Amino acid sequence: MRMMFPFAEAAALAANPDGTIGLAVRAGSSADTERAAALLAQRYRLKLPAGSDAIGPENFWHGRVLRDDRHLLVVLGSDKGAAMRRAAAVPGLPTEQAQADVAFGERLKTIVKYSVFAWAGMQFFIFGRVASWAGGEPAVPGVEAVSAETLMRRLLSLNDQDVPYALSRGRHANEIVIDWRYADAKWADLMRLHGMLKTYRLVLRFDEGQHNVRAQDRYASFDWSAGLGAALASLQWKVSLGITFYEYGHERVFGLQFRDGMPTFDLTYSYTFNLNEMKQPVIEIIRHAGWNFRPVITFFRPVGG
């Protein structure tokens, strides 16, 4: 039917056990309805009445045609009795109320569909702000905020401590990047020993106007088998699509040792990976400087806040 009436919104054909044929077409306009009637008349060699009526005796076929501006319904049969009985049993064309109900249903589905899209879009913008608020740490009450440059120098002073992470200036003037010391031989050997294949980076950006430090989590994977230099060169940093509120891992390595001349199977080394070891000292320095710590999923303010 689609091949016969490609311009129609819908078309269907039924071949009935009593030898009759029923054909229904829904068109987009009265002109398309007349076009469908003309094609049907040509196909079955019919002389269709101008309106909705029984097909005249000049045709080989018997039956009835029903039409309005958008619908065409035809029942045909070689046996007049069977054709007229089938035509009488057909429900007929949809009433104006039925058509109005269908149109309302289509409009309602369209409204619901676009409402869902709008709701999803709102969640995309709202989630980042809500998550930033939920994971944030406010400044210590009563502490006067220092300048951004002073706070950045305080944070960079952590490099003087024997900690497994390093701080450096970022590409932006108001940015500090904090990495696990994957380039330091001491910490690199520890990471290699315990099979760490992922390293973590925390990017901080300082908003002096609101005294907010906006923090973004990033991760990268590396391949120790390629060698330290090649591994560093192949790091591909990716922004995590979310905020890491908590991550903790603990590993133990057992090995064969000798104690008092006897072999024993004991714990040789244990290592803890805890993001709080990196984040919490940084957060405390920020808070005690009169600034707020705000984790974000993106630095794009309409989404990340």
Question: Across all residues in the chain, what is the average pLDDT?
Answer: 77
CB-based contact 254:267 (threshold 8 Å): yes
Its pTM stands at 0.49
Q: Residue 172 — φ and ψ, nearest 5°?
A: -100, 155
CB-based contact 32:40 (threshold 8 Å): no
Q: Quick check: 186 pLDDT over 70?
A: no
**Nearest C-alpha neighbor of 190 from the set 266, 253, 235:** 253
CB-based contact 91:45 (threshold 8 Å): no
The Cα–Cα gap between 199 and 213 comes to 22
15-58 pLDDT, tens per residue? 999 999 898 999 989 899 889 888 888 888 888 787 777 787 77
CA terminus-to-terminus distance, the chain: 55
* DSSP H or E stretch at residue 134: helix 96-135
Q: Which of 45-49, 189-193, 214-218, 257-261 has the highest mean pLDDT?
A: 214-218
CB-based contact 200:180 (threshold 8 Å): yes
